[in-house]
Amino acid sequence: MYFFANENDEPPHVHVQYQAATAKFWLNPVALANNRGMKPSELKKAGDLVRANSNLVQEKWNEFFSNKT
């Protein structure tokens, strides 16, 4: 999971990569924003991972972008 430093003008979200495929998930509520090549089973695993860690990811988002302003 990762953030892009130039995306703090969007709602909190995280990018997930598996091999060459990526997906973007909004954090509140957790929802798929876009998918670039992940298979349905991979998307389910990625979504489950984001949901299981959404509080931590939101905390890290806040820390990361509060240091960018």
Does the CA dihedral 51-24-16-56 come out positive or negative?
negative
Domain boundaries, the chain: 13-66
Per-residue pLDDT of the chain (69 residues; tens, 9 = 90+): 899 888 878 999 999 999 999 999 999 999 999 999 999 999 999 999 999 999 999 999 999 988 765
Across the beta sheet with 21-27, what order do the strands follow? 13-18, 21-27, 30-36
Global pTM reads 0.90
